Amino acid sequence: MFAKFVLSVVTFTVLGGCAIAPTHPSLKTAALPELIPVRDLVADRESTGGYSVSPDGKKLAWMGTDGVRSAVWVKTIALDDAKAFHTRARYYRWSADSQFLAIVTDSGGDENAHVYVGRVAGGDNKLVDITPFEKTNSHVLRVVDKDQNGGSDVVISSNRRDKKLFDVYKLNMATGKLDLMATNPGNVGYWGVDRTGQLRARVVVEGDKSHLQIPHSAGTDAANVWKTTASWSRFDWTNAIEFADNGKSAWALSNRGRDKMALVKVDLATGTEAVVYEVPEVDVDRVLISRKTQQPLFAFTMPSYPRLEVYDAAMKQQLQALAGGQPASMAVTSIDDSESIYTVSVATDKGSKSYLINGSAAPQLLGENSLSRLAANVALATSKPISFTARDGLQIHGYLTLPEGTAGKNLPMVLYVHGGPWARDRWANEGQGKTSQMMANRGYAVLQVNYRGSSGYGRAFQDKAIGEFAGKMHDDLIDGVNWAVKTGVADPAKVAIYGGSYGG
């Protein structure tokens, strides 16, 4: 028999705090922390992020606000000369000569992304739309090295010619000149461009197969002369990260012929893969490849708590010092050409901070999000990895956040369901973390379940969702609640459900 529990839908609409004392028996005598107004979590105008050091190591850019306006900021590291480009950016990229920013944004959230260019030097904060084509999508594929045409070139993809297809163009940010490099014949799902701006590979999809192709003549697709070097199921994934060995090989994340995504090196002439790093529990999430050595600097995974495999000795020492011996989700968000200056994001279940690492100097705190600032004054809740066995024997993982000041037993609980469903809950996820902290701050236990079909746990786990959107995927959620009741965490009469996208 499965435990019986009352399931309700919980919504939060009040932006301020609430002075009503808790009535649940487990909370009446609890020493709950100070109530955090919801506005401090959802209407934060002080948070900054997306820090990126320029290739020459002299300047810094980041995303934040200017008053009530979204902005991309830029400054000289050693000077107080910050200026703001007013736009709600999806992302941005430095030019290789450190003189321009390519900022990708859409108008009012219409999802028609355009590439804008801002000149870093001087007081002018004007942005120029380089892709002003109506109802089109354009994105930056690659920043071209500075020894190529002066260092102001980027390669972009755009569907200006045909809304269904993305062609490849070279854009000079200094002049605004846009040159067509390759035309999509109708089935190219990936274009591979190296740091010199040359086309090195593409992936075409035909039926249930994907084909890796390389050009007969490097850097061009004259007469569309491409040759196939490898084929695999279109449901396999091989995501190229960086090209190496003068375009003869590529570093990639791939699950071709295996269950989990691994870091591999692909021989482009044969399509063969050599596995360099993998873990048995989960997919490899992200990797940073050195521009100087063309070797991995680090690989990141998240089996339960984050795990970072660092190959560079100096970087390893610096990142370990920032983590302070505690679990932390860390990402090197940018690195200069010398690879001695870089920016790092350090996130925990209690917020995230960004740092500038400059050689052997002490790390410089650049900014932090609202959770991190709140943690200095309010006792935030702790999130811990959990696992349980579903009714059919499948091992399910997730996270449990318990309110501070309570015994952690017989609590009202919110089952917080992630979207996708091809996504997963993560420890130290900024967006989900704010919601979990808000609910825990009000006395709720928060259970997040990575039900079957969630990504990150390998192909077999994700495929178990096939045909089970209203079946075993829901059973996993219910089994998670049953686990929380059985272990004494949740009051079975006080369980609510909350989520967005698929989780809604």
Q: Is residue 364 part of a domain?
A: no
Shared-domain flag, residues 180 and 53: yes
- Which CATH number characterizes residue 105's domain? 2.120.10.30
The reply to whether 35 and 132 lie within a common domain is: no
Q: Classify residue 83: in a domain, yes or no.
A: yes
- Please indicate, yes or no, if residue 360 is contained in any of the structural domains: no
Residue 498 is part of a domain; what is its CATH number? 3.40.50.1820
Structure tokens at 358: 């400059």
Q: Are 170 and 53 part of one and the same domain?
A: yes
DSSP annotation of 466 reads T
Q: What is the value of pTM for the model shown?
A: 0.90
pLDDT at 20: 75
**Domain end marker among 142, 159, 184:** 184
User: How far apart are the C-alpha atoms of 63 and 46, rounded to whole Å?
Assistant: 11
Residue 304 inside a domain? The answer is no
Confidence class for position 224, pLDDT limits 50, 70, 90 = low
Residues 20 and 146 in one domain: no
**Cβ-contact 301, 307 below 8 angstroms:** yes
For the stretch 62-84, pLDDT in tens is 999 998 899 999 999 989 999 99
**23 contact partners, CB below 8 Å, separation of at least 6:** none
Q: Per DSSP, what are the bridge partners of residue 299? A: 287, 309
Q: Tell me: do 38 and 114 sit in the same domain.
A: no
CA 99 – CA 93 distance, rounded (Å): 11
Q: pLDDT by residue (tens digit) across 226-248?
A: 999 999 998 888 899 999 999 99
DSSP string, 167-192: EEEEEETTT--EEEEE---S-EEEEE
Q: How many residues does the chain have?
A: 504
Backbone angles phi, psi at 93, to 5 degrees: -140, 140
Domain termination site, one of 184, 210, 233: 184
The chain-wide mean pLDDT, for the chain, equals 91
Residues 25 and 120 in one domain: no
Number of domains composing the chain: 2
Alpha carbon distance 201, 267 (integer Å): 11
Q: How many helices (H) and strands (E) does the chain have?
A: 7, 33
DSSP 144: P
Model pLDDT, residue 14: 38
> Is 2 within the bounds of a domain?
no
Cβ-proximal residues to 331 (8 Å cutoff; 6+ apart), any chain: 286, 300, 344, 345
Full domain range(s) for residue 147: 47-184
* Contact yes or no for 246/190 (Cβ under 8 A): no
The 8-class DSSP code of residue 420 comes to S
Residue 452's pLDDT band (cuts 50, 70, 90):
very high
Comparing 266 with 432, the larger pLDDT belongs to 266
Which residue bears the tokens 């010092």?
321
pLDDT reported for residue 349 = 94
For the chain, give percent helix, strand, coil, nearest 5: 15, 40, 45
Query: What are residue 62's phi and psi, to 5 degrees?
Result: -160, 165
